Each structure stands twice: as structure tokens, then as C-alpha cells.
Amino acid sequence: MFNSLKTTLITGGAGFIGSSLIDQLLEENPHYAIINLDNFDTFYSKEIKQANIRHHLNYPNYQLLTIDINDAVAMNEAFKEIDIDCIVHLAAKAGVRPSIQDPQSYFQTNVMGTLNLLELAKQKKIKKFVFASSSSVYGKNPNVPWRESDLDLEPISPYAASKIAAEKVCQTYAHLYGLDITALRFFTVYGPKQRPDLAIHKFFKLAMNNQPIPFFGDGSTRRDYTYVADIVQGIKGAMNFKNNGFEVFNLGNHQTVSLKELVDAIGNVLGKEILLDKQPKQAGDVDQTYADIDKAMSKLGYSPKTKLIDGLSLFIKYIITKK
């Protein structure tokens, strides 16, 4: 079906970032050949993910495979007769706090699942491999803004540790087998299709129903919130980036926003006062995330353009249309 076309395998393509990437690729080129591999993990509603990709099924060069990346046998069988030009590996067990409760499953999927895909790339001689990492790998590193050259990684959750481990496996395979691997450290992505458990989505839903939002600590923690369309632009840059070996890039907005500032911005967008449910600071949460994006701008052509207030306004329009 796909062998005459340039084919990209996207894992986790029914999720927030994956389906947004596929939206963009198909919109730009309806003949783009995409294989979406997703296991519809029950971490959040399968129906949400199905809705994310429903319109993709109308494209003749799009294929959905419901396979778990932990099932190496099923993956090898599925791709036995298919040539792949690029793997964009977005599938993962996500969430800092849940990883503290179930670290084994996070390492199984995020490390061993990634290893299975690297083995597939090695066996099929797939040169280009883009891996979704996370800003959480920097952990408690006080040297902000965080740079890819920083070696002082201090993860404080099993999720963060699993992402560092997966990065190192990618680096090893690039060295041993000549794979072209680009790791992207995402910084607090938000926007349409965002997972319902993530802060901005949760805050909007609660505030719209006049319910208090969970407000951890004193509101001084800061995040580098990055709009999903900007992240997609960075992923596309990584897909086209030619590199002999392994490279890491930050994909952030190069601006930090405090929890208090975020709540105030949501209140402004909704035109209402936000009720707060004040709670202690949560285990595994870092005080600040802040991306240095000079490297991504220089080598990937990355250029985030969406201001927080504009991104929040677009997100609330999305939520309202989905009600």
C-alpha cells in the first residue's frame, strides 16, 4: 500500500501531540503516507483518542495499527512488508505523579518500548528516528534557562528518569548502528486536544463549571508553556533535520509563567474570577521549567510564535465547540 510513497511511522498518533502532527502533515500534503501506531492506552478515554483521529481515516494513505510498542513480535510482523522512511516516536506512559505510583510500567513502556522501536529501525535500516523526550529530565537543575549541553540532569520522578534512560538508549543505537536520531525535549505543551488530566485543560473545565481549581503551593512555580502548533513545527523541523548521529533539542517557548499568572490569564480569557482549592506542593513537581531554544532555532528552524493569552483563547474556543 505504501511502498511507492515516503512513509512515516508515528507512534502515539491518536494522542494530543501525535494527532496534531498528523493533522498538519495531511493538511499540507494529502498524499503523505502515514502509519499511526497506537495502543489506545486507558490512561485517559479511548473515545477522546478516537475522536482525535476520526477524520484521518478518510485519507487513503493513512493507516491505523492498534499495537502496543511493548509487543515487538506484533510490530515486526506488521512492518515485515512495509518500507518506512522515518519514525516519529511519541508514544509513552505520561504523567509525573502517576509514575511515582507505578514506576515499573513507566520504564517498561518508555525504555523497553523505545528499545523495540530502535530494534525495528536497525533491522529495517530506517535512518531517521525522532524521539519525544521531556523537559522533566532537567529536574532540579538550577541553571536556567536549561540548555541541551547541561550535564547536570537531576530527575525527581520515575517518568523523568525513564525519559533520560530512553535518550541514552537512542544515543547508543545512533553510535552503534549509524542511525540518525533526534531527541526533542518538550516543555509543557498545551492547546486543542490536550489530555484532560493536564493542568490547563483541567483548569478550564473546572472554572467553566464554577468549581475551584487545584492550586499547589504558593503559586510561584513557573512553567515554559508551549502551544501545540509550535511544537508540531519543531517536530517537522526535526523530521527534516539531517544528522549523522544523535542530537538533543529543547522545544519550548523560552518564557516562563507562574501558576498564579496562568490562573489570572485563564480568568481573563473566561471573564470571571477563578476559585482556588489551595493544596500543598506535589511530590515530583519541579519549581521551574525554562527552555533555551537557540539550538533548535538555529538547526531546526524552530520559531515559536504563540503567546500564552492567544493560545488560551484558541484552546477555549476548541473546548466550547466540543461541548
Q: What is the DSSP string of 213-279?
A: EEEETTS--EE--EEHHHHHHHHHHHHT---SSEEEEEES-S--EEHHHHHHHHHHHHTSPPPEEEE
Q: How far is CA 74 from CA 11, 34, 79, 87, 200, in A?
A: 14, 18, 9, 17, 36
Residue with grid cell 505510583, as numbered in its chain: 101
Q: What is the DSSP string of 69-86?
A: TT-HHHHHHHTTT---SE
Q: Report the candidate in 199, 239, 195, 187 with the shortest Cα–Cα distance to residue 52.
A: 195
Q: Report the candidate in 124, 130, 125, 34 with the shortest Cα–Cα distance to residue 77.
A: 124
Active site residue 227: no
248: β partners: 183
Residue with grid cell 482525535, as numbered in its chain: 52
Q: Which of 159, 173, 190, 302 is catalytic?
A: 159
Residue with grid cell 525504555, as numbered in its chain: 111
Q: Which residues are catalytic?
A: 159
